[in-house]
Amino acid sequence: MNPLFLASTMARRGMLGPTAPHRIPGQLNALRRWGFSLAGELRQAAAREPDLVAIVDEERGEITYRQLLLHAERLTRSLRSRVGITPGDRIGVMARNHAGLIETVLAATMLGADTVLVNTGLAATQLAQVTEEQQLRALVHDDEFADRVAGLPAEVIRIDERTQQDLIGNAPPGKVTPPDRPGRIIVLTSGTTGAPKGARRPTPGGFGPLISIIDRIPLHAKDNILIAAPLFHTWGYAALQVSFALRATIVLQRRFDPAETLRALNRHECGALFAVPVMLQRILEVEPPKRLPPIKVVAVSGSALPGTLATRFMDVYGDVIYNLYGSTEVSWASIATPADLRKDPGTAGRPPYGTKLAILDGEGKPVPTGEVGRIFVGNEMLFEGYTSGTSRESLDGLLSTGDLGHLDADGLLHVDGREDDMIVSGGENVFPGEVENLLAQLPQVREVAVIGVPDDQYGQRLVAYVVLHPGESLDAEAVREYVRHYLARFSVPREVHFIAELPRNATGKILARELRAAGS
């Protein structure tokens, strides 16, 4: 990355402000010894501004960067001496958004153990499968998940919330020194079409990845940032990394509630919110507060923005949405700014600085502007492969996202759907996402999902699952006629089902397999 570009971006975001001279050696030492891992970012922040509030946990209160480092080091010593965790072991964390999750991840990183971020939505059988596949030595979990943990093998060490606090409060003496290799973060893929896979996240090698994000998303040092996106998800964890690097104050709530989130944004004077798209939809369904939150950035990722959600949200809360398109495997591919979304609410934006994007055909050759092809991405944070030993297809250093998309005449990326979601109906290629976005614009529709199912005559056919707003009515033929008016005949759903709610995972992604099971 160009050093001048890096320095100018850091200066614009307040990352190069005055620092007490006696603290500079501590910062440099943290960088040299701990690198840019989460633990390294914490140590830099604690060395620079130890008394700055790092976390506002709505249940536990405020924790400064100095206190957070102390808690993490004490937990590190206890995990090592009292629990017997050694470098290279894997620790699972099944927790909602609170300080305990962050303390555990930090301790594991300092110890040289790998952290597996476990989706809180996993059923007991799925948790057992993940535990076996990831070879977990221990599982740190919230008390509410005790019943799901009960059936795990006896050799898996269970650490509930009270035990974790005991490990912090009664830690043995000793020093915490950098391990030969900082602990890695393993994020589980969403598992919307099958069992979740463990993806190894890389440790940043410098400020480059951070600069790529904040050059396009105007976050600043010492911002108050509410992270509503689950921390076990790639987007929530990325928000945590960015916040530490910016010495931000992170506001956390265990559960997302739209009205309470709005109150917390005002209560803590938050300038930024990290969320997933379905959370914005839920926020729009509650009455806006008389005093709107002082948010300047609402950064979203994790799934597509349906219909006109972006513009409807910005009409109420201002032009604040920044939509990042990416995946667990490629981290990020593009970012849409408010101006991009005003121009085209369905766009995924442009690749940020230091990111390469290519739309390729089946032979790996670039496709013309406007033509749909496979999306490939290159940046500094491509994942290191699945824990199973497999990886994704790559070409010339670019990694496949598994999605199909196209670039328009202005260079904006549009994601047309997953490669495995595209269906062939009567010889025609159909993208369910295009139909979903159209139906989401109907005023009666709260949310919608469109999937392909086998069909004896056409090979595959489209089926729409529609959730209406309370008190609204709509019939199947009206839905089909609406699609008929705007799209080709082969895009018209042959079946329309009205249901109470769409099945989603903890990050808001629709579980297509459950829809198929319900409709079979």
Using only C-alpha atoms, what is the Rg of the chain?
A: 23
Q: What is the mean pLDDT of residues 292-297?
A: 97
Q: pLDDT above 70 covers what percent of the chain?
A: 92
Give the pLDDT band of residue 26 (cuts 50, 70, 90). Answer: very low
Least confident of 135-149, 159-173, 182-196: 182-196
For the chain, list the domains and their CATH numbers. Answer: 3-183 (3.40.50.12780), 252-418 (3.40.50.12780), 423-519 (3.30.300.30)
Beta-ladder partners of 357:
377
pLDDT bucket at 7, cuts 50 / 70 / 90: low
pLDDT of 309 higher than 80:
yes
Percent of the chain at pLDDT exceeding 90: 66
Residue 480: band (very low, low, confident or very high) from pLDDT cuts 50, 70, 90? very high
* Model confidence band, residue 13 (pLDDT cutoffs 50, 70, 90): low
Q: Which residues contact 481 (CB under 8 A, 6 or more apart)?
A: none
- The whole-number pLDDT of residue 49 equals 95
Residue, of 14 and 435, whose pLDDT is higher:
435
The lowest-confidence range among 4-13, 229-238, 355-364, 376-385 is 4-13
For residue 190, the model assigns a pLDDT of: 64
Strand residues in 230-382 grouped as ranges (E)? 249-252, 272-275, 297-300, 321-325, 334-336, 356-360, 373-378
Taking residues 354-362, what's their average pLDDT? Answer: 93
- Lowest average pLDDT, out of 179-193, 233-247, 255-269, goes to 179-193
- The alpha carbon dihedral of 85, 86, 89, 90 has a sign of positive
Task: Express each pLDDT in 440-453 by its tens digit.
Answer: 999 999 999 998 88
Task: Please give the average per-residue pLDDT across 150-161, as a whole number.
Answer: 96
φ/ψ (deg, to 5) at 169? -75, -25
pLDDT digits (tens, 9 = 90+) for 57-88: 999 999 999 999 999 999 999 999 999 999 99
Q: How far apart are alpha carbons 130 and 43 in whole angstroms?
A: 31
Residue 458 clears pLDDT 50, i.e. is over it: yes
Residues paired with 359 in a beta bridge: 375
Q: In angstroms, rounded to a whole number, what is the distance separating the alpha carbons of residues 444 and 446? A: 7
Structure tokens at 314: 């910005």
> Strand (E) positions, 53-159?
53-57, 61-64, 90-94, 114-117, 138-141, 157-159
- pLDDT category at 193 given cuts 50, 70, 90 is very low
**Is the predicted pLDDT of residue 31 greater than 60, yes or no?**
no
What single-letter amino acid sits at 323? N
Predicted confidence at residue 452, as pLDDT, reads 87
Residues 6+ apart with CB under 8 A from 217: 297, 299, 322, 324, 335
Q: What CA–CA distance (Å, rounded) separates 21 from 214? A: 27
Q: What pLDDT, on a 0 to 100 scale, did the predictor assign at position 375?
A: 95
- Report the candidate in 242, 239, 241, 264 with the shortest Cα–Cα distance to residue 253: 264
pTM equals 0.85
User: Which of 17 and 334 is assigned the larger pLDDT?
Assistant: 334
Nearest-angstrom CA–CA distance, 234 and 99: 17
- Report residue 387's pLDDT band, with 50, 70 and 90 as the boundaries: confident
Chain mean pLDDT for the chain: 89
